[in-house]
Structure 1
Amino acid sequence: MTTEIDSISDITHAQLLPRYVRISGNLYGAVFTLMKIVPARHILRAALARGDLGPDTLIVETTSGTFGLALAMEAALLERRLVLVSDPVIDVGLHRRLRDLGARVEICSEPAEVGGFQEARLRRVAEIRASHPDTFCPEQYSNPDNPRSYAVVAEEMLRRLGRVDCVIGPVGSGGSMCGTVRTLREHNPQVRAIGVDTHQSVLFGHPDGPRTLRGLGNSLMPPNLDHTVFDEVHWCGAGEAHAATRALHREHALFQGPTSGAAFQVARWWAERNPDARCVVMLPDEGHRYQETTYNDAWLAEQSLAGADLSVKPREVAAPELAVGTWDWFPWARRSFEDVMGEGR
């Protein structure tokens, strides 16, 4: 009997690539267990190969979500120490899991006046690094290895689907959408990119503000976000995203988190309007972390997020700053931030 036992690797390698499922006639889902494993594994392994991650090197990073989990998994496998700087929004289950994986988690209790908790976290990372002689920071927002890591996702997407005309996905650091689409356009420059953001995120021209929908959007502009990649940008409300997440589970048995729901909401609408285009929606992580929130009817009611109408269509706006509804979209048309918003913004 022939086996492939020598090809079996560790858990982050096993979960690196998504499963592909057909959601509707021309819409396919790239279903990740934990999408942030892609950049976390690539960044740490590249640092190891360069000699930047020695046996005594302390890994330090800022995170409130799944990138931290992916780093903790990889650091445990590499037997490296890890400090993660987060803020009060981190959920209890994730916090416990990070500690179980051996990470030290520090919580910034107060936001910075400009840049909010993300700026406060970055300052604390700098303090920790200054007090240790040997550190490495993955810097997911600025490290070019983040978008570069998604080349393997794009190549597998083409291998599985043959042709891709449009990719729809949430935007946070900019890594997944920019890296995947850039590689796809090496094969076909006409591939369209639809970015999914949320209101009061600075990524596509909104002023920073409190966001109830976590996992996408940002309070600071990440250098890895290449605005010229995007053909359209959609801003989704939290209620619609949670409702779409539940619909994705109910109708397609895909148990994912709310960033997946936001992307699915946009992708379903776009695919229906473009029936000849082969569309792929990026579904970043599974729903286990969200059973007390997205999948909890009582929590949704308490947060006034229940009962969102999924039959609502997006409203096209003439400028990003006019996107103030529950679901808005703007034809970004592969322009730079300065070209769309004006110099000095």
Structure 2
Amino acid sequence: MDDHITDALSRPALLRLDEHTTCVRFETMKVASALTAVRHLLDRGTITPGDTLVDSSSGIYAHALALACHRHGLRCHIVASTTVDTTLRLQLEVLGATVEPMPSTPSLKLDQNRRVARVREILRDNPRHHWMRQYHDETHYLGYRPIATLLRAELATAPLTLVGGVGTGASTGALARYLRETDPDTALVGVQPFDSVTFGSEHVCDPEIIIAGIGSSIPFANVDHTLYDTLHWVGFDAALTGSIALLRDHAVFAGLSAGAAYLAARWERRSQPDRHVVFLAPDTGHRYVDAAYSRHQDAQPLNRLRPHQIEDLDDMSLPWSRMPWNRAPAPPAAVSGPAAACA
């Protein structure tokens, strides 16, 4: 029996969709990383009960950090993205977190930069607060070791290909790193939105980009680009098709990043039939009901979609592009900041 809801939320459901495809389905994936990071900081004496933890979030990390703080008697302050909806905001407030919403903006790039700037202002005025640095600190990798152990125990006989949204790197990157300790042949396939600097798609605009959390307009220091073998860039329309298919065919109600990962996973399974493909569904679809699921009739037949195969970042295009990354280092903008804006 668990002592706190965070224990249950840290464990994913493993769903075998077919003989060679498994969905790792979470209600709130980042609970695993936030809870372990907070425990690590408490054990080291970096923070103590009663301290205030601060971070910026577009959604599921805010919920995860608020839950971890609730468990360990810590205060929590969230600088919230415009994508944080009323349902989540009310949960955070009841859990005891203070939520500081950013002004509405049509640009998620501007929203993300504003949030990080506001966190720095808070730290300047409250030097005893602790910034969790979900975008920068590899401490957030630690919580994924038990999940890697679970995957290896359940799927021990097959070479694995792991597919999922890149985000801060703390989910896919961490899982690949831990899985490769026992199986160096584990392949890692990252999923990105367009208009993200992390893997060089900032020059391609997606007019409906709302795939919050898996891309970035600023450099993320805890993304290890050299872990990734292949990248898929998936636009809103293609991700919507993947999400609707995942729900219709397998009854898995998940967010747009899960739909994008499902799309990529199906392609990788087709390309490498001798491997078992595992993809991440990091959250439920509730916050995408109005913006995405209400448009389910717009979803295309899944089999009509194919990625645009590219060898150079300049050649990528909507709605879906795929490129071998071959564990290469970060592109310049992912280290130094945005090099160009999309037209």
Match of 2:66 in 1: 72
Residue in structure 1 matching 2:178, options 169, 175, 183? 183
2:216, 2:224 → 1: CA distance?
14
Residue number in structure 1 paired with 2:198 = 203
Superposition TM-score, scaled by structure 1 size? 0.90
Change (3 A) 1:97 1:130: same
Report 1:1-345 matches (<5 A).
7-109=1-103, 116-162=110-156, 163-207=158-202, 211-297=209-295, 306-310=298-302, 311-338=304-331
Shift of 1:164: 4.0
Query: Following TM superposition, by how much is the alpha carbon of 1:80 offset from its aligned partner in structure 2, in angstroms?
Result: 1.5
1:114–1:36 CA distance, 2 compared to 1 (3 A): closer
Return the alpha-carbon distance in structure 2 between the equivalents of residues 201 and 134 of structure 1.
Answer: 33
3-state SS in 2 of match to 1:282: strand
**Structure 1 stretches of 4+ moved >6 Å:** 339-345
Q: Is the 8 A contact 2:230 2:324 kept in 1?
A: yes
Taking a change above 3 Å as real, the CA distance of residues 343 and 224 of structure 1, as seen in their structure-2 partners, is closer
Residue 28 of structure 2 aligns with an amino acid whose one-letter code is: L
CA RMSD of aligned residues (A): 2.5
Distance across 2 between alignment mates of 1:340 and 1:15? 35
How far 1:294 sits from its partner (Å)?
2.7
SS of match in other structure, 2:233: strand
CA distance in 2, matches of 1:234, 1:73: 32
Larger CA deviation: 181-190 vs 330-339: 330-339
For 1:220, the aligned partner's letter is I
Cα offset, 1:48, TM superposition: 1.1
1:159 Cα offset (Å): 1.1
Structure 1: segments with no counterpart, 5+ residues: 1-6
SS at match of 2:198: helix
**Separation in structure 1 between the aligned mates of residue 272 and residue 122 of structure 2, nearest angstrom:** 50
Contact (CA 8 Å) 1:212, 1:238: kept in 2 or not?
yes
Q: 1:138, 1:164 → 2: CA distance?
A: 35
Q: Is the 8 A contact 2:6 2:35 kept in 1?
A: yes
One-letter identity of the residue aligned with 2:324: P
Go from structure 1 to structure 2 and tell me whether the alpha carbon gap of 1:246 and 1:114 turns closer, same or farther (over 3 Å shift).
Answer: closer
Identity of aligned residues (%): 30
User: Partner of 1:186: helix, strand, or coil?
Assistant: coil
Equivalenced residue count is 333
Secondary structure of the structure 2 residue equivalent to 1:49? helix
**One-letter code aligned to 2:320:** W
Gaps of 5+ in 2: none
Instruction: Identify the range of structure 1 (241-250 vs 201-210) with the bigger mean alpha-carbon deviation.
Output: 201-210
Give the TM-score of the pair, scaled to structure 2: 0.90
Distance in 1 (CA, whole Å) between partners of 2:211 and 2:278 is 22
Matched to 1:321, the amino acid is D
On the 8 A contact 1:230/1:334 being kept in 2, the answer is yes
Displacement of 1:133: 4.2
Q: Deviations over 1:181-215 (max 9, x none)?
A: 01111111111111000111111112276633223
Matching residue's letter, 1:263: A
Helix, strand or coil: the match of 1:142?
A: coil
The CA distance in 2 between the partners of 1:212 and 1:340, in whole Å, is 21
Provide, for residues 145-190 of structure 1, a one-character-per-residue CA deviation record: whole Å limited to 9, x for no partner: 1123211211111011114421011111111011000111111111
For 2:140 and 2:49, how far apart are their aligned partners in 1? 23
Are the aligned partners of 2:218 and 2:334 in contact in 1 as well (CA < 8 Å)? no
Q: 1:274 to 1:266 in 2, by over 3 A?
A: same
Per-residue CA deviation, residues 275-329 of structure 1 (Å, 9 max, x unaligned), is 11111111111223333333223xx68xxxx233422111111212321220101
Q: CA deviation at 1:336?
A: 0.8
Q: Select between 183-192 and 51-60 the one with higher mean Cα deviation.
A: 51-60
Q: Give the aligned residue type for 2:300.
A: A
CA contact (8 A) 1:232 1:331 kept: yes
